[in-house]
Amino acid sequence: MILIDGKKISLELQSEIAIEVKNLIASGKKQPHLAAILVGDDPASQTYVNNKVRACDNVGFKSTLVRFPSSVEEETLLATIYELNNNDDIDGYIIQLPLPRHISEQKMIEAIHPNKDVDGFHPVNVGRLVLNLPTYISATPFGIIQLLERYDIPTDGKHCVVIGRSHIVGSPMSILMSKNTTVGNCTVTLCHSHTKNLKEHTLNADIIIAAIGIPNFITADMVKQGAVIIDVGINRVDDASVSKGFKLVGDVSFAEVSEKASYITPVPGGVGPMTIASLLKNTLIAAKKLV
């Protein structure tokens, strides 16, 4: 069994981005600039945005954080989005989700200019993904593709089972894994809460990508010997034995499934670190005007 070290690959990717940024600036080009909109004081969102700001510093990006209280009105948020759309110094920006209930996330996402949508959530960019046109791939799926590529994991002709059909991970992953690309050419089965006999599908899978948000859901009896396991889940479960009172686990029961897997991502330290690195990569693509 080979452990897929997302933290290691993320640092490698960030080092590569930092070199590209130095070369851009040395050639007289502008410094890439990533902005983020943060609404409210959700601790997880604040931590994630703070990590993005630090990552920008590490690779030589400029970064801007626009903060609003959770009571902010849609009109105010939309006005800020339009300002960022028209700010030529900002190459790309994100709106940290989730947003308060009184704000339509879809309305905000659709207001972002597609050329600056480095999260890859705008309908135009999703459509370009489906049509195999240059686009921004949402960060988590982009990170998974890079993990598979850098570990040289064969995908051509393999059966890939994606569990979960969210617009953020499951649906784009099913498209990416079936594409006629170096990491792709899989026969893909997309499973979800209405799938019958899920175990039959997973037992036939060469590659399983689990993104359902249920701790330790995938067990050893659901996985065939030698399968590749990509665990996207990050679930907090109570654990009185540690000082924090909880621990993070994935959607895959790691201890037992790792005994059968050929490759497997840990939680934490697998897919998670790749998300920010992939967002930085998208911002670099935006700065180079490649989309």
Say yes or no: 59 and 145 in one domain.
Answer: no
**Residues 252, 234: Cα–Cα separation, whole Å:** 10
Q: Are residues 77 and 145 in the same domain?
A: no
Rounded to the nearest 5 degrees, what angle is found at the Cα of 184, between the Cα atoms of 226 and 186? 60
In a domain, 8, yes or no: no
Q: Clarify whether residues 258 and 216 are in a common domain.
A: yes
User: Do 54 and 161 fall within a single domain?
Assistant: no
- pTM of the predicted model as reported, rounded to 2 decimal places: 0.94
Residue 200 included in any domain = yes
Reported as a single tens digit per residue, the pLDDT across 40-53 is: 988 888 888 888 99
Output the average pLDDT for the chain: 95
Query: Residue 43 has what pLDDT?
Result: 83
Examine the pLDDT at 96 and tell me if it is beyond 90. yes
Instruction: Give the residue numbers spanning the domain of 180.
Output: 139-273
**Domain co-membership, 73 together with 156:** no
For residue 166, the 8-state DSSP code is -
- If one counts the domains in the chain, the total is 2
The reply to whether 144 falls in a domain is yes
Residue 126, pLDDT above cutoff 80: yes
Residues 61 and 153 in one domain: no
Q: Same structural domain for residues 151 and 105?
A: no
148, 250: one domain = yes
| Average pLDDT of the residues in 234-239 | 85
Using CA atoms, how far apart are residues 256 and 227, in angstroms rounded to an integer? 13
The answer on 220 and 96 residing in a single domain is: no
Q: For 137-168, what is each residue's pLDDT tens digit?
A: 999 999 999 999 999 999 999 999 999 999 99
| Model pLDDT for residues 28-74, shown as the tens digit of each residue | 999 999 999 999 988 888 888 888 999 999 999 999 999 999 999 99
Q: What is the pLDDT of residue 291?
A: 78
What mean pLDDT is predicted for residues 110-129? 97
Are 94 and 159 contained in the same domain?
no
State the catalytic residues: 52, 96, 119
Output the CA–CA distances (angstroms, integers) from residue 20 to 27, 34, 39, 165, 272, in the order listed: 11, 16, 32, 34, 23
- Specify the CATH number for the domain of residue 189: 3.40.50.720
Kindly state whether residues 170 and 253 are assigned to the same domain: yes
CATH number at residue 36: 3.40.50.10860
State residue 7's pLDDT score.
Answer: 96
Residue found by looking up tokens 């339009």 in the block: 82
- Using the predicted structure, report yes or no on whether residue 247 has a pLDDT greater than 90: no
A 10 A CB-CB count for 113 gives 15
Long-range (24+ apart) CB contacts under 8 A made by 201-204 are 201/161, 202/161, 202/163, 204/159, 204/161
- 272-287 and 6-26 helices cross at what angle (nearest 10)? 20
